[in-house]
Structure 1
Amino acid sequence: MVTQIEATDTGAASPPGQRQPTEKEIRLVIAASSAGTIFEWYDFFIYGTLAALIGAAFFPSDNETLQLLLVWAGFAVGFGFRPLGAILFGYLGDRLGRKYTFLVTVTLMGVATAGVGLIPSAASIGIAAPIIVIGLRILQGLALGGEYGGAAIYVAEHAPPEKRGFYTSFIQASVVGGFVLSIIVVIACRALIPADEFAAWGWRLPFLLSIVLLGISLWMRLKLSESPVFQAMKAAGETSSNPFKESLTYPGNPKRIFVALFGITGVLTTIWYTAFFSGLSFLRGPMRVEESAVEWMLLAAGAISMGFYIVVGKWSDRVGRKKPIVFGALASLFLLFPVFWGIGALANPDLQRSAREAPVTVAGEACSYDPFAERQASACGRLLQDLTSLGVPYDILAPLSAQEQGAIAEGIAASDFPVRTQSVESPPTLFAASQFPSEDGPRREAVQQRLETLGYSFERQTPPLANILSIVGLLLVLGMLSALTYGSVAALLTEMFPARIRYSSMSIPYHIGAGYLGGFLPLIASYIVAMTGNAYSGLWYTWGVVAFGLLVAWWGLPNGPPKDFEDAHA
């Protein structure tokens, strides 16, 4: 058991003369907290790692884009309930203690995740399957709403002030560790199970593994005692009677919550999910890279990136918490698009060249696309759906006059007409909706065949080794940007709020930001890509959130060396 020590309400080290935790005790605190965080985030991320198979099992649709959007909608639902979990478990954490609260959250997460692996497919039980999946995602979201705050505060309240950024950075690295573990498990299952069987039932095993991870996590965390700061508050009778209410009314807290929501969480969470989940879906989807190659690239980048968070956390102990976040956000605004352009050029250069040399322009009546429609209302909309599912960018010809429609029927080139958006030098190839069959199967086949005659290839690609290494390098750039904006956050949020309401005060803005600004990112970005036909257009969502967050961080975060709460805000 970790020896109980006393501490002041600030979360600083114990007063002189009182026993400090030994290095061995602190290592146990960090190891147990980090392992539980890895396992809990593994449980949450395995859903996104297996998004394609989840869609086929629980959200089947003839519209491939809709199927993917429904998967990401289910992903977002879990995030949407994280703020409620933050309120509920923040209340319990501030009233009953840090340790037992995050024991409850990890148990709830493990049971809910294993449940996903036991649900029959939609082909077996119909609409009940996706409803149950959504219900379990809600439970996961509630659990995750209480996990991060508990683990981060628990480590921070054991750490001496001069090492708080370093010690808590292991919690941030553990979030990436959960993503890395999910990929390792998927790779191992693919290696042991034939591809057809993995698609049929093998994908369930990574979810069922959650029961084993839950047992390990509980065993480790039960070895810990309560946070010394909470023990001191409880002994002095200083715990809050209503942490949620006090979080909203404590002097200065509304401003701190606003800064934590937009200036900290909004920045870190959108960069994180863009770096890892957008990178994953971008390579698998529009770039059509072979799945195992994608998984190995993300595994390498994620595993190496974990070290960046620890370096940044330690650096923040010396230079303060604001500087890494502001620098990382500013660098992201300049590097985000170039990095993804580079990844695209390296991942599938033939597709990039085809899109440049043989651009596609679409013409037809009522030429609009609704990604959430099971079947598009017009023939032109169905043509756009096919192009989107193939990852082919397109422009849409401005509304046509009767004379122009007649000219198209006679084979006049699209370049003879004004194009609504034209960013390429080569004359576009016209895809008129009237030229393709109306039935879904024959139309898709005809569209793909015509694109192939223009030089497009839709085979899964395995880039050359040099390209793979370069892609990993660019993913590491994204990992560094994430580390800069995330590595010191647990220490910063702990220092921003008073200990008596710390669990609630930091969890609420963190999980609102992570739940809505970050959790909905894959859905929103995929929707933007589907609407525009541009594989890079979804990045504008990240860019906008980070730009606003940078302004808030610049204005609201304290300058200078790290300070405990009462030193900074007395």
Structure 2
Amino acid sequence: MSVHEISSGTVAHAETLDRNTKRTVFAAALGTVFEWYDFFIYGSLAAFFSTLFFPKGNETAALLAALATFGAGFVLRPFGAVVFGRLGDLVGRKKTFLVTMLVMGLATAAIGLLPTYESIGWAAPALLVALRLLQGLAVGGEFGGAVTYVAEHSDHDRRGFTTSWIQITATLGLFLSLIVIVLCRSSMSPEAFASWGWRMPFVGSILLLILSLYIRLKLHESPVFQEMKAQGKGSKNPIADTFADGRNLRLVLVAIFGVVAGQAVVWYTGHFYSLYFMTTTLKMTHDQANFYLLAALTLGTPFFLFFGWLSDRVGRKWIVVTGCALSALLIMPLFQALGTYGNPVLADFRARTSVTLVGNDCDHDQSFIGQLFSPQATTQCQKVKALLTARAVPYTVKSDAEPLRVQVNDSAMKPYNENELLAALTAGGMPDPKAPVQPNGPMVIAILFCLVFLATIVYGPLGALLVELFPVRIRYSGVSVALQLGNGWIGGFAPFVATAVVIATGNIFGGLWYTVAFAGLTAVIGAFLLPETRGRDLST
């Protein structure tokens, strides 16, 4: 089948959707885009937030804290799925995701009004974490409700394509957040953005909240839900029926580890960790990284719809399994290529350089949990690791009974001296971290497109697959819990875990094994345990 035939088929398929279905999809999808914008605007600025809401003195610990706070938004997502999933199965899909939208919008606007660490100390990150938890609670009940609502309005032979419009909303929300940030940055000086301009994307989201509520208030309840209630088939306790019933619990576990876990790590690695990697490791400017990612998202986003459409023709299961398997094989080489083309000078230096740290303080709580909210690097070994990580210099760490020594390549082991170390690295070709980076732009965009494309394979059919997997009595709960446990507790922490592993090991690609492992595991479990769901009757 040619590309033209595929595109024509997809367009023709879209044109067969009736007006009521199009209106339903548009209203649900638009509201979900705005909710994802609210959730991701922090993620798009996480590296920037590390300088505002956490103590100075250890850049790597501050970045970890900022990423952990981003991850905090995922902690309560499964609980949001439980709370709002239960409401969705008891009182209806529409009413429930109106509530989630209101909570999300108000929490986002409040982040834009927070004082910084310099103003109120540790109360600033504490409040930030609290608001991120509220956002997570809201989004935990939003996405499962939206995809369930749309699927229950769809014809069985178009369900993959129809729900793929909801799958696309997460990427569109990220896209919108990046666009708003770029516009804000370009309209003011860096000093003004750092002082007050960063607040505008958060406070301005209140306008999106009003528009979204207005649109969704015009929606009608799902006909499948209305029929279930009319026939008295609804569950009196959806959560108990989801977790206490062995068959339903098995469906949840298969959904998490046979579909969602792989989708989650692939999506967050390609969409978010790639952004941090470009700015913190490859030293691109935020404008460069945002532009390249926006270009890749523009090219890749239509494929969410294509793979949703394709799943209506050939089935959901093997598309998702294939996407996870390809991701497990390709994520590592794609990021290695991103390192090469994103900063060629740094890549050449790294290939010729290695640093070994040996000392009696190198076994002093090197875990990322131990350092997470450390206001300063407390040992010499931590300090030199922070210095090397900030410059993307590869290193290995060993412990012995002597004070810290440092070896650069094959030189003699010497007592640690920061100035001497920096001089040796500079002589070896280490680029100035403040020097402009000259990426190979077309290749960077191509690599980022490949990362987005992998995400479209596993994410495009996901909504229809999950909705068809669960019975109507517990559908909102089952879909939401599976999505949010997989995305919230496995995928959402992928950027944080990857960054922490890089700091612990000195290998800028080491953290990607987290993504590779979960993508590969999901491919195997999905291949053996995941049923094909295409065409199932949603009224049962």
TM-score, length-normalised on structure 1?
0.87
Distance 1:208 1:519, change over 3 A: same
**Aligned partner of 1:331 among 302, 317, 326:** 326
* Alignment pair present for 1:459 and 2:434: yes
Aligned to 1:272: 267
8 Å CA contact 1:360–1:428 kept in 2: the answer is no
Between 1:51-60 and 1:273-282, the stretch displaced more is 51-60
**Aligned partner of 2:135 among 121, 134, 140:** 140
Aligned to 1:395: 396
Aligned to 1:507: 480
Report the residue type matching 1:178 in the other structure.
Answer: G
Distance 1:562 1:452, change over 3 A: farther
**Aligned partner of 1:494 among 467, 476, 486:** 467
* Alignment pair present for 1:189 and 2:184: yes
8 Å CA contact 1:286–1:392 kept in 2: the answer is no
8 Å CA contact 2:57–2:377 kept in 1: the answer is no
> 1:12-27 maps to which residues of 2 (within 5 A)?
23-27=18-22
Report the residue type matching 2:487 in the other structure.
Answer: A
**Aligned partner of 1:87 among 74, 82, 85:** 82
- Please report the RMSD computed on the Cα atoms of aligned residues, expressed in angstroms: 2.1
Deviations 1:166-224 (A, max 9, x none): 00001111110000000000000011111111011100101111101101111111111
Deviations 1:2-57 (A, max 9, x none): xxxxxxxxxxxxxxxxxxx9711111111111111111011111111111222222
> 1:372-383 maps to which residues of 2 (within 5 A)?
372=371, 373-383=374-384
* Alignment pair present for 1:539 and 2:512: yes
> 1:231-380 maps to which residues of 2 (within 5 A)?
231-250=226-245, 252-368=247-363, 369-371=366-368, 372=371, 373-380=374-381
8 Å CA contact 1:98–1:227 kept in 2: the answer is yes
Q: How many aligned residue pairs are there?
A: 518
* Alignment pair present for 1:97 and 2:92: yes
Counterpart CA distance in 2 for 1:549 and 1:186 is 34
Counterpart CA distance in 2 for 1:238 and 1:132 is 43
Larger radius of gyration: 1
Between 1:383-392 and 1:185-194, the stretch displaced more is 383-392
Deviations 1:132-171 (A, max 9, x none): 1111111101000000111001110000000000000011
Distance 1:446 1:100, change over 3 A: farther
Deviations 1:489-528 (A, max 9, x none): 1101110111121000111121111110011111111110
Aligned to 2:493: 520
Counterpart CA distance in 1 for 2:17 and 2:328 is 42
Deviations 1:37-92 (A, max 9, x none): 11101111111111122222211231101101111111111101001100000011
Counterpart CA distance in 2 for 1:552 and 1:562 is 22
Q: Secondary structure at the match of 2:124?
A: helix
Deviations 1:440-478 (A, max 9, x none): xxx4x66444422221112354435xx211111111111
Instruction: Report the CA distance between 1:367 and its aligned residue.
Output: 2.6
* Alignment pair present for 1:72 and 2:67: yes
Counterpart CA distance in 1 for 2:291 and 2:502 is 25
Counterpart CA distance in 2 for 1:462 and 1:532 is 25
Counterpart CA distance in 2 for 1:431 and 1:206 is 50
Aligned to 1:230: 225
Deviations 1:232-260 (A, max 9, x none): 11222222111111112346212111111
Counterpart CA distance in 2 for 1:283 and 1:326 is 29
8 Å CA contact 1:273–1:518 kept in 2: the answer is yes
Report the residue type matching 1:555 in the other structure.
Answer: F
8 Å CA contact 1:34–1:151 kept in 2: the answer is yes
Distance 1:386 1:401, change over 3 A: closer
Counterpart CA distance in 1 for 2:413 and 2:286 is 30
Q: Secondary structure at the match of 1:302?
A: helix
Q: Secondary structure at the match of 1:395?
A: strand
Aligned to 2:57: 62
Instruction: Report the CA distance between 1:396 and its aligned residue.
Output: 3.3
Report the residue type matching 2:204 in the other structure.
Answer: L
* Alignment pair present for 1:119 and 2:118: no
Instruction: Report the CA distance between 1:303 and its aligned residue.
Output: 2.4
Counterpart CA distance in 2 for 1:296 and 1:154 is 34
Aligned to 1:12: none
8 Å CA contact 1:122–1:129 kept in 2: the answer is yes
Instruction: Report the CA distance between 1:370 and its aligned residue.
Output: 4.8
Q: Secondary structure at the match of 2:487?
A: helix
Report the residue type matching 2:40 in the other structure.
Answer: F
Q: Secondary structure at the match of 2:50?
A: helix
Q: What are the ranges of 5 or more consecutive residues in structure 1 without an aligned counterpart?
A: 1-20, 416-426, 437-442
Instruction: Report the CA distance between 1:565 and its aligned residue.
Output: 5.6
Q: Secondary structure at the match of 1:58?
A: coil
Instruction: Report the CA distance between 1:380 and its aligned residue.
Output: 2.9
Counterpart CA distance in 1 for 2:526 and 2:468 is 15
Report the residue type matching 1:452 in the other structure.
Answer: T
Aligned to 1:200: 195
Counterpart CA distance in 1 for 2:413 and 2:104 is 48
8 Å CA contact 1:319–1:560 kept in 2: the answer is no
Report the residue type matching 1:294 in the other structure.
Answer: A
Report the residue type matching 1:76 in the other structure.
Answer: G
Counterpart CA distance in 2 for 1:350 and 1:215 is 48
Aligned to 1:36: 31
Counterpart CA distance in 2 for 1:124 and 1:377 is 24
Instruction: Report the CA distance between 1:322 and its aligned residue.
Output: 0.5
Distance 1:430 1:474, change over 3 A: farther
Instruction: Report the CA distance between 1:334 and its aligned residue.
Output: 1.3
TM-score, length-normalised on structure 2?
0.92
* Alignment pair present for 1:554 and 2:516: no
Distance 1:34 1:132, change over 3 A: same
Counterpart CA distance in 1 for 2:234 and 2:343 is 57
Between 1:304-313 and 1:53-62, the stretch displaced more is 53-62
Aligned to 1:477: 450
8 Å CA contact 1:312–1:487 kept in 2: the answer is yes
* Alignment pair present for 1:47 and 2:20: no
8 Å CA contact 1:362–1:431 kept in 2: the answer is no
